[in-house]
């Protein structure tokens, strides 16, 4: 097994057709490289001439240590981590590829060095993190909410919603709330409302508008901004959605910024889902990721859309990484 640094162009050439996160796309990585503290490094694992795995990391040198993280903090990316591309359908060979690719990666980035802080937040498609646990790293199970949208209809999906969600959509429509697709000005309104709500909750929201603006502009057709307004044009709420080749993700927004916009958020999610189901430009998208399902209030809210909790894994280098999180805010989401 040989692990090799790839250029961004080479990464784009070898990225598979499906099975990766939106943040694995060359466009997203390009934006990340422009805004993140540290150096973006792209790795490919080769078994002879056969590509068997990919991993993007950001390497950041701090005062006393080197952090190797995927994704980096402060950029609204919940998951990146490794992509496996095993060539054999046999379980034993797939596990062998996973073990060998993991071992080679850990050696390449010096993850076992005493002053290396190593952390990954993996895609749900990376389903076997045991090689990292066997190598001495902590593995934590996390959850995101995914709504499957393949081979179904808007009517069936709406019927799968809870009564509360369906009522909220009807109430929003009866109130004359309008959801439209908007440009960067709409993205700024979504960002400002979401930042204000997070700061109000004491989160000290770290994501900059400059980064979000660059991301939405660079992703092009891989990003959409949905804004809910009153009939008079008053902003109520909004959601910025980003896309991989097969999944839409709620990137930012949807915060309950006032008691008036609860049903607006339900209508926003419904319009996003409707577009995935009916817009030919989104024909390859077969699921919608509503995000973080690890806190009980969030889980209660997101489950009403018929979405299911899907596990993914967070990997980190134990107590030293915990210490660094507090000292340097190196949070692996």
Query: H/E/C letters for each residue in the chain?
Result: CEEEEECHHHHHHHCCCCCCCHHHCHHHHHHHHHHCCCEEEEEEEEECCEEEEEEEEEEEECCCCEEEEECCCCCCCCCECCEECCCCCCHHHHHHHHHHHHHHHHHHCCCCCCCEEEEEEECCCCCCCHHHHHCCCEEEEEEEEEEECCCCCHHHHHHHCCHHHHHHHHHHHHCCCEEEEECHHHHHHHHHHHHHHHHHCCCCCCCCHHHHHHHHHHHHHHEEEEEEECCCCCEEEEEEEEECCCCEEEEEECCCCCCCCHHHHHHHHHHHHHHHHHCHHHCCCCEEEEEECCCHHHHHHHHHHCCEEEEEEEEECHHHHHHHHHHHCCCCC
292 and 250 inside one domain: yes
155 and 298 inside one domain: yes
Q: At what angle do helices 209-219 and 184-200 cross, to 10 degrees?
A: 140
49 and 183 inside one domain: no
Q: What tokens does 29 get?
A: 């990585």
260 and 131 inside one domain: no
Residue scoring higher pLDDT (199 or 54): 54
Residue 77 is part of which domain span?
2-137+317-328
Contact in structure between 38 and 72 (CB atoms under 8 Å): yes
84 and 169 inside one domain: no
Query: Tell me: the pLDDT tens digits for 115-171?
Result: 899 999 999 999 999 999 999 999 999 999 999 999 999 999 999 999 999 999 999
Tell me which of 88-102, 172-186, 191-205 is least confident: 191-205
194 and 249 inside one domain: yes
Q: How many domains does the chain have?
A: 2
122 and 6 inside one domain: yes
218 and 125 inside one domain: no
Supply the pLDDT for residue 88.
Answer: 85
Query: By C-alpha distance, which of 69, 75, 74, 60 is closest to 28?
Result: 75
306 and 321 inside one domain: no
In a domain, 333, yes or no: no
Supply the pLDDT for residue 135.
Answer: 96
CATH of the domain at 189: 3.40.630.30
80 and 110 inside one domain: yes
98 and 163 inside one domain: no
219 and 192 inside one domain: yes
Contact in structure between 232 and 59 (CB atoms under 8 Å): no
Supply the pLDDT for residue 93.
Answer: 93
- pLDDT score of 195 more than 50: yes
Query: Tell me: the pLDDT tens digits for 67-120?
Result: 999 999 889 999 999 999 988 889 999 999 999 999 999 999 999 998 899 999
In a domain, 197, yes or no: yes
In a domain, 149, yes or no: yes
Q: Give the pairing of strands 116-121 and 66-70.
A: parallel
pTM of the predicted model as reported, rounded to 2 decimal places: 0.91
Q: What tokens does 331 get?
A: 């949070």
Q: What tokens does 83 get?
A: 């992509």
């Amino acid at each position: 097994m040989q692990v090799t640094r790839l250029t961004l162009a080479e990464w784009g050439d070898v990225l598979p057709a499906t099975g990766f996160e939106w943040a694995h796309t060359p466009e997203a990585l390009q934006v990340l490289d422009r805004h993140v503290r540290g150096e973006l490094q792209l790795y490919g694992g080769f078994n002879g001439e056969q590509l068997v795995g990919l991993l993007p990391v950001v390497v950041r040198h701090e005062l006393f240590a080197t952090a190797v993280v995927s994704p980096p903090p402060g950029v609204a990316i919940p998951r990146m981590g490794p992509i496996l591309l095993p060539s054999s359908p046999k379980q034993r060979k797939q596990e062998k590829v996973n073990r060998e690719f993991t071992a080679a990666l850990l050696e390449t980035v010096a993850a076992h060095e005493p002053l290396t802080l190593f952390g990954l937040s993996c895609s749900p498609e990376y389903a076997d993190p045991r090689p990292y646990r066997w190598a001495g790293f902590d593995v934590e199970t996390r959850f995101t909410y995914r709504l499957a949208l393949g081979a179904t209809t808007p009517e069936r999906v709406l019927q799968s919603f809870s009564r509360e969600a369906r009522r909220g959509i009807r109430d929003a429509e009866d109130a004359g709330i309008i959801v439209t697709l908007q440009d960067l000005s709409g993205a700024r309104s979504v960002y400002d409302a979401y930042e204000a709500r997070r700061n109000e909750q004491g989160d000290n929201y770290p994501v900059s508008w400059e980064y979000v603006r660059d991301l939405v502009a660079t992703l092009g057709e891989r990003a959409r901004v949905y804004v809910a307004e009153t009939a008079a044009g008053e902003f109520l709420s909004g959601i910025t959605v980003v896309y991989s080749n097969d999944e839409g993700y709620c990137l930012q927004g949807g915060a309950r910024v006032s008691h008036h916009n609860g049903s607006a958020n339900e209508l926003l999610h419904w319009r996003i889902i409707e577009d995935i189901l009916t817009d030919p430009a989104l024909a390859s998208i077969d699921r919608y990721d509503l995000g973080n399902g690890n806190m009980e209030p969030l889980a209660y809210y997101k489950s009403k859309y018929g979405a299911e909790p899907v596990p993914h894994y967070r990997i980190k280098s134990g107590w030293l990484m915990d210490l660094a999180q507090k000292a340097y805010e190196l949070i692996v989401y």
